[in-house]
Amino acid sequence: MLRYSADLRTIAFVFTYYALIAVAITVALPTWAFFPLMAVICFLSFFCAVITHNTVHVPVFRSRVLNQIFQLLLTPTYGHPVSMFVPGHNLSHHKYLQTPKDRMRTDKMRFRWNLLNQLFFNVAVGPAIFKDNAAYARVMRTKRPRWYSQLMMELAFYALFLVATVAGMIATWGFAAGMTRWIMFVFIPHQYGVWGIAGINFVQHDGCDPDHPYNHSRNFTGKLVNWFTFNNGFHGIHHQRPTLHWSLTPEAHEKEMVPNMDARLNLTALLPFLFTQYIFPGRRMRYDGTPVVVGPAIADEDWVPGAATEGLGDAKNDEEYGAMA
């Protein structure tokens, strides 16, 4: 049923999320356990957001029906419809990397303290992505009704999940304690997952060279971080070959990227980079060691309104930029 056996890990992560939500609803936890459990679910929500990213590029199952069901199950794990990842990520970020049509371009951030650029990146790019998502959905309602129906099912399933978890926690623990659990174990992890999957884009592209065929992305090759993030650290090869399955990216990275890219974009550990870039000395630097120079602010350029005549949702884009339900 699976396209790649490596996605057994993908499925295990998703079901682990639901298992921990069941624990949060039913188990009498000691006070000291609340924050550690919240932290674990926060990380799981982020990892499931990475799974969403992978899924809209390469479906997990061979069967369309199973993929549709999986997208329903995946949506509540980080609080965002899986199908809505397509316009903002596949067809804006991938297709128009770091240009005015890329809603996630990093030059939108202009704080002098670089940590603020990282912390508020999702806030800065969110409104434009939301606007594009709505416009794209309107176009796809008539151009690709099956995709639109999938989106509606994901939204309905997510609403059902929210109602079920709120009701379950309140019924089990009372209103105050139940709502406290819901906020800690559902609402906050969802916000963290959405924040994290947007914010990692800033890490991977700020200070890189979008015009260079290989130096457009920052890569992190550490085994531990890539085990949990499904090789998301090998980001350059992902932009070169968006429909390459995540399990195949390390080998492709070594063969296709390493011989051609600047070695300073091939890092091993993520945490040391985050510390130096955002804490101390906390300067916003390019990969070549020079400061990032942000020019005049540039307005977003529309790309969705012309979707009906630009081929969005057709087979060519599916092949180039990733799969769509």
- Which residue ranges make up each domain of the chain? 7-321
- pLDDT greater than 80 at residue 241: yes
| Contact (Cβ atoms closer than 8 angstroms) between residue 173 and residue 88 | no
DSSP-assigned letter for residue 292: P
Q: Please report, in angstroms and rounded to a whole number, the separation of the first and last CA atoms in the chain.
A: 17
pTM of the model as a whole: 0.94
Residue among 235, 246, 244 at smallest CA distance from 203:
235
Q: What percent of the residues of the chain are helix, what percent strand, and what percent coil, each to the nearest 5?
A: 65, 0, 30
Distance CA 305, CA 137 (A): 11
Per-residue pLDDT at 322 = 55
Q: Which residues contact 264 (CB under 8 A, 6 or more apart)?
A: 287, 288, 289
pLDDT of the residue at 304 = 80
Q: Which residues, other chains included, contact 212 with Cβ-Cβ below 8 Å and sequence gap of 6+?
A: none
For residue 172, count CB atoms less than 10 angstroms from its CB and return exposed for 0-12, middle for 13-18, buried for 19 or more.
middle
- DSSP annotation of 220 reads E
pLDDT tens digit string along 99-119?
999 999 999 999 999 999 999
pLDDT band at 320 (very low <50, low <70, confident <90, very high): low
HSE-up of residue 35 (Cα within 13 Å, Cβ side): 2
CB 169 within 8 A of CB 26: no
Asked if pLDDT for residue 31 goes beyond 90, the answer is yes
Q: Is the pLDDT of residue 46 over 90?
A: yes
Q: What is the pLDDT of residue 73?
A: 98
3-state SS track over 39-66: HHHHHHHHHHHHHHHHHCCCCCECCHHH
Residue 47: closest CA among 196, 270, 239, 236: 196
CA 219/CA 234 separation, integer angstroms: 5
Separation in Å, CA 273 to CA 81, 116, 276, 285: 31, 16, 5, 11
For position 316, what pLDDT does the model report?
45
Report the 3 state secondary structure along 72-136: HHHHHHHCCCHHHHHHHHHHHHHCCCCCCCCCCCHHHCCCCCHHHHHHCHHHHHHHHHHHHHHHH
Which of the four pLDDT bands, split at 50, 70 and 90, describes residue 309? very low
What does the alpha-carbon distance between residue 98 and residue 89 come to, in Å, rounded to a whole number?
12
Res 315 pLDDT > 50: no
Say yes or no to pLDDT of 319 above 60: no
CB-based contact 89:56 (threshold 8 Å): yes
pLDDT recorded at residue 283: 93
Q: Which residues 6+ apart lie within 8 Å of 182 measured at CB?
A: 165, 166, 169, 170
Condensed to tens digits (0 to 9), the pLDDT of residues 142-182 reads: 999 999 999 999 999 999 999 999 999 999 999 999 999 99
Sign of CA dihedral 49, 54, 60, 63: positive
